[in-house]
Structure 1
Amino acid sequence: MGFDKTFSLLSRLIGGSSATFADDDPRTISTALLLRVAEADGVVAASENAVILNVIRRDFGLSARAANALALAGDKLAAETDDIALLVEQANRGLDAPGRLHLLDRLWQVTVVDDRVHEFEDNLVWRISDLLGVPVHERLAARQRAGKARQPR
């Protein structure tokens, strides 16, 4: 996975982290899904890395070190889980309906950050949202919110 090298270097630069995140932690699962979406088009842009780190820091109230540790745990889980449906099944167990919609918003945020939506990213986010049980009208609204957030003001 592309994040492993980036976050390993980051970890060495900031002195590592004592935080550990289990594979069944909803934060680890959500991070793994964010990483899978970032990698869907075959290119993980620096802007995607930055959004993922910002999202996990802000949404989970983590320090830079803890966010780095979570990113590494999510990267490891994403690399070890071949079937995206297994990750989504775990997410469904750990998230309520508003949490699932929030995750979908974050997935779209990662998808649109590089100002282009590759068909693989679009298809993956749509599949994840279907597996999460997010209704179609909410999926479309989430995509619109992400697109509007990227438009120049």
Structure 2
Amino acid sequence: MFRTLTSFISDITGEKRDAQAFSSSDYRLAAAALLIHVVSIDGEMSPLERDKVKSILATRFDLDADASRALMQEAIVKDAEAVDLYAFTSTLNRALDEEGRRRIVEMMFEVAFADGGLTEFEDNLVARVSELLNISDRDRVEIRREIREEAEAGGEQES
């Protein structure tokens, strides 16, 4: 059923499924699934949000365009299968040190601010994930402030 879902998503987006697969224990897949969860928490993923996720995956994980698309497709499937956030955060906790987990929170805020603002749902989700990643509230608020300022500065430059 999930392969059918992935094929369906590939058909809609016009992308072929890459032969590269990311294992379920790959921290990059866990991180990507959390990013997908952030951008789809409001029920839809805009093209701007989709592009931001692809860009972050490519940049942060040093992936080419095909690999970042494949990772994103796998993440969409994993997010759809997930019943909670624990499977993703436990993988990240095992694989990453504190600085790595902070970068995941940064990435989540980056995609949350991609459409110009942070919704209450997105902020709450990042707060729950931060707690599961053992990132303090103080650190999470500081990360949110930094990313918001970067997003606002980027928006002013584009105007």
Aligned to 2:137: 136
Aligned to 1:17: 18
Per the TM alignment, residue 57 of structure 1 is displaced from its structure 2 partner at its CA by 0.6
Change beyond 3 A, Cα 1:112–1:50: same
Aligned to 2:59: 58
* Residues 7, 68 of structure 1: 8 Å contact kept: no
Aligned to 1:119: 120
* Residues 92, 132 of structure 1: 8 Å contact kept: yes
Three-state SS of the structure 2 residue aligned to 1:11 is coil
Q: Which amino acid aligns with 2:118?
A: V
Aligned to 1:76: 77
TM-score (norm 2): 0.86
Q: Matches of 2:113 and 2:151 in 1, distance apart?
A: 7
Aligned to 1:38: 39
Q: Matches of 1:68 and 1:7 in 2, distance apart?
A: 10
Change beyond 3 A, Cα 1:50–1:136: same
Aligned to 1:28: 29
Per the TM alignment, residue 55 of structure 1 is displaced from its structure 2 partner at its CA by 0.6
CA deviation string 1:93-128 (max 9, x = no partner): 111111000010000001111112221111001100
Identity of aligned residues (%): 27
TM-score (norm 1): 0.89
CA deviation string 1:116-150 (max 9, x = no partner): 22211110011001111101221011101111111
Per the TM alignment, residue 68 of structure 1 is displaced from its structure 2 partner at its CA by 0.8
Moved more, 51-60 or 77-86: 77-86
Aligned to 1:104: 105
Change beyond 3 A, Cα 1:7–1:62: farther
Q: Which amino acid aligns with 2:45?
A: V
> Which of structures 1 and 2 has the larger relative contact order (alpha carbons within 8 angstroms, sep 6+)?
1
Per the TM alignment, residue 10 of structure 1 is displaced from its structure 2 partner at its CA by 3.9
Per the TM alignment, residue 85 of structure 1 is displaced from its structure 2 partner at its CA by 2.2
State the aligned residue count: 149
Q: Where do 5+ consecutive residues of structure 2 fail to align?
A: none
Per the TM alignment, residue 11 of structure 1 is displaced from its structure 2 partner at its CA by 2.2
Q: Which amino acid aligns with 1:117?
A: L
Q: Let me know the Cα RMSD of the aligned residues.
A: 1.9
Change beyond 3 A, Cα 1:86–1:109: same
